[in-house]
Amino acid sequence: MFKIIDGGICAAKGFSANGIHCGIRKNRTKRDIALIVSEVKAVAAATYTTNLVKGAPLTVTKNNIADGYARAVICNSGNANTCNANGIEIAEKMCCLVSKETGIDAKDVIVASTGVIGQPLDIEPIEKGMSELVAGLGDHSDFASEAILTTDLAKKEIAVSFTIDGKECKIGGIAKGSGMIHPNMATMLVFITTDVSITPAMLQKALSGDIKNTFNMVSVDGDTSTNDMVSVLANGLAGNKIIDSEGEDFDIFMKALNTVTVHLCKSIAADGEGATKMIECNVNGAKSESCAKTVAKSVICSSLTKAAMFGADANWGRVLCAIGYSGADVDVNKIDVAFSSAAGTIDVCKNGAGVNFSEEIAKKILLEKEINIIIELNDGDCSATAWGCDLTYDYVKINGDYRT
C-alpha cells in the first residue's frame, strides 16, 4: 500500500525546495538556510515545543497559520532565534524577505530557526542570500535537508507514495535533530509536505494524533528543546476527494503519515550526538497504552541503560531499574526482558528474575548498530515503542564546548 520513493519534500506535486550557505555559519561548506515552497496555497498544521522558553519563530508561525493555511517554510541553522530581544522582529523579517522574492504573502510563511540559543541572529546574511535561495528553488530536498542540520551527522529525509480515492498521493519529510532531543508534543524540526486534499481540522487531527506515538517517543538526552516544531503542508494537488472527516481515506493518510514519521524518528535516534547505536524499546502486555509508553520512554531515557548499550553490556538490571522508577503500574514479578538485533535474540530476564544466558552471545547481539530491548509485562494487551540511542564519551565532548 505504501511505497518508499525518492524526492523527500519535493516528491509531492507542486513542491520545490532549496538550501544554500548564506553566511550565518562561518564554515562555507555548510548550508545554513532552507526554503520550501508550494506552488499553490496549502493547508497547514503544526505542533510546538511545550518548553516555556520558546524560540520567536514558533510564535510567529503560530500566528501565521492560525487560519489553517501557508505556502512556504523558511528555516535557518547555525544560530537559533531564541531568547533575543528582537526575536519576533527577526522572524517576521524572514517571512517578509520570502514574500519580497516570491510574492507569497508574508502571513503564509512558516518560519523556523535552530542552533545556539541566546546569540543575536543577524538578518543581513539572510537578506543577502534570499535571492540566490529563491532562484535555486527546484527538486532539491537534499539541499534543504542539509541546510537545517546542526550537530547532525546525516541528512534525514523520506517520501512515500500511496493511493486515496483512486488518486496517486505522495507525502515526504525532512528532519533535523541530534542533541537536546526529548520532545513533548513536538520534536526538533520536522517539515512534511503532501499533495493530499484534506481540511485544516483533519490535518491537525492527523498530526496531533500521530506525534503521540512517534516523535514524543524519541529521546536522545532528556532535554526538551526551545525550538521544537513539526509542520505539515498539504496542497491538494493529488486531486483526491477532500478528506473532511474520519473514515477509510483518513485512515490511509494517517498510515502514510506514520510511515514517514516513524522513519524520521529512527533516523533522529540513530544520529543522536555521539551515538554509535540506535535503540528501540518495544513494550508489550501492558495494562494500558499510557503504562506501556511510560515504561518504554523510561528505559530509553535511562542513562545507565544507554551506557550499557554503548559498552555492549547485557546489564538487564538497569532495564528493570528504569521500569521500577518509571511510575508505571506494573507487577515486577511478571516482567520478561530480551535483547535483540540482526545478530539474534537472547532472553535475559523472566518473571522479574535473571536467567542463565551466554554473555558471549549477548555481547555479539549488542555490538550491532540497531538494538531492540523487548519487554513483556504480562499484565494486559497494550503496547508501545520508543526510540533512543546509546550514551557515549563523544556526547560529553560535543556538548562540553557546543557554544564556543
- For 3-270, give the CATH class: alpha beta
User: Whole-model pTM?
Assistant: 0.88
C-alpha cell at 195: 499533495
Taking residue 201's Cβ as centre, other Cβ atoms within 10 Å add up to: 13
pLDDT at 223 over 70: no
Mean pLDDT of all residues in the chain? 93
Taking residue 401's Cβ as centre, other Cβ atoms within 10 Å add up to: 7
C-alpha cell at 161: 507514495
- For 144-174, the pLDDT digits (tens) are 999 999 877 889 999 999 999 999 999 999 9
If you compute the radius of gyration of the chain from its CA atoms, what whole number of angstroms results? 22
CA 100, CA 286: separation in Å to the nearest integer?
54
- For 37-83, the pLDDT digits (tens) are 999 999 999 998 877 778 899 999 999 999 999 999 999 999 999 88
Contact 172, 157 (CB under 8 A): yes
Sign of CA dihedral 14, 37, 35, 258: negative
**Beta partners for residue 339, in sequence order:** 346, 373
Q: Helix 248-270 vs helix 200-211: angle between axes, to the nearest 10 degrees? A: 40
Measure CA of the first residue to CA of the last residue in the chain; give whole Å.
48
Contact 281, 300 (CB under 8 A): yes
Res 185: pLDDT: 38
- Residue percentage of the chain with pLDDT more than 90: 81
Q: How confident is the model at residue 192 (pLDDT cuts 50, 70, 90)?
A: very high
Where do the domains of the chain lie?
3-270, 278-400
Residue, of 386 and 223, whose pLDDT is higher: 386
- For 74-131, the pLDDT digits (tens) are 999 999 998 888 999 999 999 999 999 999 999 999 999 998 888 889 999 999 999 9
- For 324-337, the pLDDT digits (tens) are 999 999 999 999 99
DSSP H helical segments within 172-315, as ranges? 200-211, 248-270, 289-301, 303-310
**Beta partners for residue 42, in sequence order:** 70
Classify residue 343 as exposed, middle or buried by CB count within 10 Å of its CB (0-12, 13-18, 19+). Answer: middle
Q: Which of 115, 122, 124, 116 is nearest to 87 (CA)?
A: 122
CA 396, CA 306: separation in Å to the nearest integer?
14
Res 401: pLDDT: 76
* Domain 278-400: assigned CATH number: 3.10.20.340
pLDDT at 183 over 70: no
CA 365, CA 346: separation in Å to the nearest integer?
8
Sign of CA dihedral 14, 20, 23, 26: positive
Contact 279, 387 (CB under 8 A): yes
Q: How confident is the model at residue 197 (pLDDT cuts 50, 70, 90)?
A: very high
Q: CB-side exposure of 171: number of CA atoms within 13 Å?
A: 27
> 59 an active-site residue?
no
Res 396: pLDDT: 83
- For 280-297, the pLDDT digits (tens) are 999 999 999 999 999 999
Which residue is catalytic, options 47, 150, 187, 193? Answer: 187
